[in-house]
Structure 1
Amino acid sequence: MTSVKEFRIEDEATADNLGRGSFVFTDDYSVFDWGKMPDQIPQKGASLCSMGAFNFELLESEGVPTHYRGVVERSSTDRRTASDEDVEDGDVVPLADVENPPREMAIDLTQVPDLPHEGREYDYEAYHADAGSNYLVPLEIVFRNRVPVGSSLRRRTDPADHGLDLAEWPDEAVDLDDPIVEFSTKYEESDRYLDREEADSIAGEADIDDLESIAREVNRIVTEQADAAGLVHEDGKIECLYYDGAAAAADGERASGPANGEIRVGDVVGTFDENRFSYEGTQLSKEVIRQYHKRTQPEWVEAVSEAKAEAKRTDVADWKGLCDVDPEPLDESVIETARDMYCAGANAYTGRELFDAPPLSSAIGAVQRL
C-alpha cells in the first residue's frame, strides 16, 4: 500500500510471469514525504485515476509499453457505455467506456523485493538477487521542462552543468529547450538524486539509456497533451518495470512476454500528483498544497526538514520517528479549492466533462486566493 492508493492483487507476479491486479485510488494526499495527511480531498482519487488512464492510453497509442490494462467499473447498478453496451461490475474497460470517473485501474504486476538496509546503507545487490529478470526498477526518472525558483536542481547544480549559457540561476523560472532528465532513489526512506553511474548500477538489467529515452518520450507526449489543453507541463516523473520472459523462465522455455527484456512504464503517469502543471502562470498540481502548508504551517514544515537532516547525520532511515510536530487539518474552504483544482484540471486535460466542477479559470482563481 502507498500513502494515496491501495493494491488489489488477483494473481501474484512470479519470476516467470507478470501478475494481475489493480490500483485503488483514495482521496488521501501526502506532502513532504509525510504519508497520509489528516484530511481527504473529495474526488481526488477519481481525478488521478482518470488522468492516469487517459495518459496510459495515449502512451500505448504512441507505442510506449506500459503496465496498464484498463479501468475497473465498480458499481452496484448496471451502467451504459457510450456504445450502449452493458458494463458489469468489475469489468476492465477503456476509460471511454465508463460513465462515471473510475477509482480503480487494472495493471500488470511485477515483483518488488525487499530492499535490505543498515541505517542509510541499502543493499541493492540483494534486491536484484531476489528480483531476477522481472522487477520494479527501484528508481524514479525525473524530467524537467522548467526550473522554477526554489527547485532543488538549483541547490544541487549550476546552469553550466546542463549546457545553459547562464553564470548563475536567475531570480525567475528558466524554461528549457532540452528537458533535463535525472534519476533518484525510489525505496529509500529519504529519496536522493543519483549520478548516472550509480543510477545505472541500481537499475539492474534495465538499461539506463533506455530508461532515459522512455522518460523523454513520456515527457513529450504529456507535454503535447497539456499544450493542447492550454496547460504548461513543467516537470514530472515515471517509474518503470523490467521484464524478460525468456530469461525468467527457469526451464529454458520462453514464458509469456518479450524475448530480450522490455522496459514498461508503471505506477501512474501525468497526474497532478506525479507532475507539475500550470495554467496562466498559476500552479495546477500538488505543489499548491505543499506551498499552502509552507505558508500556514511553517513550524511543521521546519520540523520535517530538521528531522530529515538529523536522520542523515545519525545514519537513521526512519526520519519521521524523529519529527516531534504533526500536521494540522486544513480548513474546509481549502479542501474545496483543492477538490475543484483536481477535478477542473482533469476535465481540461482530458477534454471530457468527467467531473461536476467549475471552469478551470474559476478554479485557478480560487487557488490564487489561498
Structure 2
Amino acid sequence: MTSVKEFRVEREPTATELGRGAFVFTDDYSVFDWGKMPDEIPQKGASLCSMGAFNFELLESEGVPTHYEGVVSDSEARSASDSRAVEPRDGEVVSLADADEPPTEMAIELTQVPTLPHEGREYDYEAYHTAAGDNYLIPLEVVFRNSVPVGSSLRHRTDPVDHGLDFESWPEGVVQLEEPIVEFSTKYEEGDRYLSRSEADHIAGTASIDQLENVARTVNRLLTEQAAKADLTHEDGKIECLYFDGEIRVADVVGTFDENRFSFHGQQVSKEFLRQYHKRTQPEWVNAVNDAKEQAKVQDIADWKSLCEESPDPLDDDIVTAARDLYAAGTNAYVGRELFDAPSLEDAVAVVRDL
C-alpha cells in the first residue's frame, strides 16, 4: 500500500460491510515522495507500529472512532519482511500494553478503495465515488499545523491574512500558532496538491468536510497534549479517514515520526531529520527530484519519477544508527514505556544535532 508498510487483506470489504486486514510495518523509509530508499532503519517498523497503536488507543479512549483493532502479538516476533507477511496472521490481536515485544503488525478494519481514473493530471473523482458508494477511504489528507517554520510551503501558497494572522507578510522566524491551521490535500494523485475548501468538499464525496476538520482538530489536540508529556513539541501532521455507515473514522496510521513532525528542544525528532540530511549531503538528487516534479506539471505527466535523472545514495552506517536510536528513543519517551533498548531521547537527539 505504501513504500514503508505492507498491506494484508484477510476479508475484503463490501459496499455494506468493512473488511479485515493488517498493516505490516517494514524498516524501509521514504523521503520526498521517492518511495523505498536504499537503506533500512533497524526497528523503525516496530517503532512506527508501537507509536501508531498507542495513538489509536488514545483516540478510542477519547471517543474518536478509528479502524484500529489491536496489534498482532507473535511469540516468534517475526520480521515485517518475512515471507508470511502476505498470508493470514498467526498471532493474537492484543492491546499494545499486552504485546510481548514491540509489534510490527497492526490489525485494522478495511474499507473500499476504488481505482481513481485519470488522464494525465486530470482525475475522475466522480468515478471513484460511484464505485465506492457509502463505504470508502476518503481520498484526502487532512493536514494540521501548530507552527509555520521557515521552509513551510504555506508561506509560498498563502498570506498570513488568509489565516487570520496579524502579519502583512510572513516573518523570518518560526510562527507559533495560537490556533492550528487545517488544510486539505489530495491523497491518490501522483503529485499531491493542496485544495480549496470547495475542491476538498467535492473530493470528499458524501463525507462532511466540516466533520473532517473537527476530527482533525481533535486528533491534533490529543497528540499535542501527549507529546508535551514527553517534552516533545508537536509541530504538524495529518490524518486520513474512512467513511462508513454515516460515520468518519480515523484510518491509516496516526501520529508517528513519519506522519507528523515533532521536535525536542528545537531538534527534529521525525523523518524531517532524514529529509534535511539529504538536502545537505545529496543536493543534486534533491534538486533533480524537484525539477522532475515541475517538469511533470508542465508536461501534464502523472509519473514525475520517470523524469528524474538522479537516484539517492545509501546512508553512512553512523547515520543509520543515529536514525534508529532517534526513532526508538522517541517512541519510548512518547509512550512512556521502555519498549526498545535505546539511549535516552536527550542523548539520541544530541547525536543527531551534531551530524
TM-score, scaled relative to structure 1: 0.92
C-alpha separation in 2, matches of 1:308 and 1:270? 27
Q: State the shift of 1:354 in Å.
A: 0.3
Task: Indicate conservation of the 8 Å contact 1:75/1:89, yes or no.
Answer: no
Give aligned-pair identity as a percent: 73
Unaligned residue ranges in structure 2 (runs of 5+): 78-88
AA of the residue aligned to 1:17: E
Q: State the shift of 1:192 in Å.
A: 0.1
C-alpha separation in 2, matches of 1:178 and 1:280? 21
Task: Indicate conservation of the 8 Å contact 1:73/1:102, yes or no.
Answer: yes
Asked if 1:161 corresponds to 2:162, the answer is yes
4+ residue runs over 3 A deviation: none
Asked if 1:352 corresponds to 2:337, the answer is yes
Aligned residue pair count = 344
Task: Indicate conservation of the 8 Å contact 2:332/2:340, yes or no.
Answer: yes
| Aligned position for 1:147 | 148
C-alpha separation in 2, matches of 1:136 and 1:369? 41
C-alpha separation in 1, matches of 2:75 and 2:300? 48
C-alpha separation in 1, matches of 2:90 and 2:4? 23
RMSD between superposed Cα atoms in Å: 0.9
| Aligned position for 1:70 | 70
AA of the residue aligned to 1:21: G
Cα distance per residue 1:121-170 (max 9 Å; x no partner): 00000000000000000000000000001000000011111111111111
| Aligned position for 1:42 | 42
Task: Indicate conservation of the 8 Å contact 1:76/1:89, yes or no.
Answer: no
Task: Indicate conservation of the 8 Å contact 2:114/2:132, yes or no.
Answer: yes
| Aligned position for 1:290 | 275
Q: State the shift of 1:279 in Å.
A: 0.2
SS of equivalent to 1:40: coil
The structure 2 residue matched to 1:335, chosen from 306, 309, 320, is 320
Q: State the shift of 1:76 in Å.
A: 3.0
C-alpha separation in 1, matches of 2:15 and 2:181? 34
C-alpha separation in 1, matches of 2:263 and 2:48? 16
SS of equivalent to 2:27: coil
Asked if 1:266 corresponds to 2:251, the answer is yes
| Aligned position for 2:260 | 275
AA of the residue aligned to 1:55: N
Unaligned residue ranges in structure 1 (runs of 5+): 78-87, 245-260
C-alpha separation in 1, matches of 2:29 and 2:119? 29
The structure 2 residue matched to 1:320, chosen from 305, 319, 332, is 305
| Aligned position for 2:83 | none
SS of equivalent to 2:206: coil
C-alpha separation in 1, matches of 2:348 and 2:171? 30
| Aligned position for 2:20 | 20
Cα distance per residue 1:69-113 (max 9 Å; x no partner): 000012338xxxxxxxxxx95100000001210000000000000
Task: Indicate conservation of the 8 Å contact 2:232/2:263, yes or no.
Answer: yes
C-alpha separation in 1, matches of 2:292 and 2:49? 32
Task: Indicate conservation of the 8 Å contact 2:75/2:100, yes or no.
Answer: no
Q: Which has the larger radius of gyration?
A: 1
C-alpha separation in 2, matches of 1:7 and 1:298? 33
Q: State the shift of 1:277 in Å.
A: 0.3
C-alpha separation in 1, matches of 2:301 and 2:330? 39
C-alpha separation in 2, matches of 1:152 and 1:159? 13
C-alpha separation in 1, matches of 2:73 and 2:125? 38
SS of equivalent to 1:56: helix
| Aligned position for 1:112 | 113
| Aligned position for 1:309 | 294
C-alpha separation in 2, matches of 1:90 and 1:67? 19
What are the residue-to-residue correspondences of 1:355-370 with 2, within 5 Å?
355-370=340-355
TM-score, scaled relative to structure 2: 0.96
AA of the residue aligned to 2:210: D
SS of equivalent to 1:239: strand
C-alpha separation in 2, matches of 1:330 and 1:75? 32
SS of equivalent to 1:142: strand
